[in-house]
Amino acid sequence: MCIRDSIRIQAIHFDATDQLEAFIQKKVAKLEQYFDGIISAEVSLKVVKPESAKNKEAAAKLSKQSEDGEMIKYYQAILTGELPNDAGTITNYLIHDNQTNVTRIVDKDTPGAKLAELDYEVLDVMETDDGILSYVLINLITGRTHQIRVQMAGKKAGIWGDTKYNPKFRKTKKSYKQIGLHASRLEFEHPVTGEHMVFKNEPEGKAFEIIELDEF
């Protein structure tokens, strides 16, 4: 009995072509050169995604979480001023100029304008020799370029040390290694296991040394 007549080929989750089956039969038949007692063979075929494909799939799932607002991003900020309420939502429309690397607040109907939204909670307010400082926790709902810096400046409470958007620091020639804005907590669902992931990072820098920090 020829082994070619007793080869069972099973394709899992896809249809094997005639050419593929013929190739497998030819390869399996060569086993008779090494083993005389082979009377049948069963071959199972399945498609295994390469690691690069798995990484792309995981990245796409993470990107979708961010776009759908399911990825939670908390920032701690030191502001040079006070916000109108102890907690609230700030909504604007922004445009970013790639040539100047500057983002600005515009009207909703402005061509190219993108919705920018964040929630905030004021944790502490204190008077200093340089004026009132606010310690704020921010939940970034959308993720626009320079969004927090622009929106806080729009509320007359710019980020400490921000020479690009905060008028109180814009005219100074002094440079700051770290401004008073820090990504302190990130939460999302693992794209493969579905596990809820939480990453924390404590803020550093001169701005955060001024105020006693809370842990999140």
3-state SS string for 33-64:
HCCCCCCCEEEEEECCCCHHHHHHHHHHHHHH
Q: Tell me the β-bridge partners of 73.
A: 186
The domains of the chain are located at: 3-46, 56-210
Task: State residue 49's pLDDT score.
Answer: 61
Per-residue pLDDT of the chain in tens (216 residues, 90 and over written 9): 455 556 788 878 777 788 888 887 877 776 655 455 555 677 888 776 656 667 778 888 888 877 777 788 899 999 999 999 999 999 999 999 989 999 999 999 999 999 999 999 999 999 888 789 999 999 999 889 999 999 999 999 999 999 999 998 887 766 667 889 998 888 888 888 888 988 888 887 788 887 665 554
Q: How many helices and strands in the chain, by DSSP H and E?
A: 5, 9
CATH topology of domain 56-210: Pseudouridine synthase (3.30.2350)
The rounded distance, in Å, linking the Cα atoms of 158 and 136 is 12
Task: State residue 180's pLDDT score.
Answer: 92
Where are the alpha helices (H) located in the chain, listed in sequence order?
Answer: 18-29, 51-67, 147-154, 167-170, 206-210
Task: State residue 118's pLDDT score.
Answer: 95
The rounded distance, in Å, linking the Cα atoms of 166 and 152 is 9
Task: State residue 23's pLDDT score.
Answer: 83
pTM (2 d.p.): 0.68
- Residue 71 phi, psi (nearest 5): -90, 120
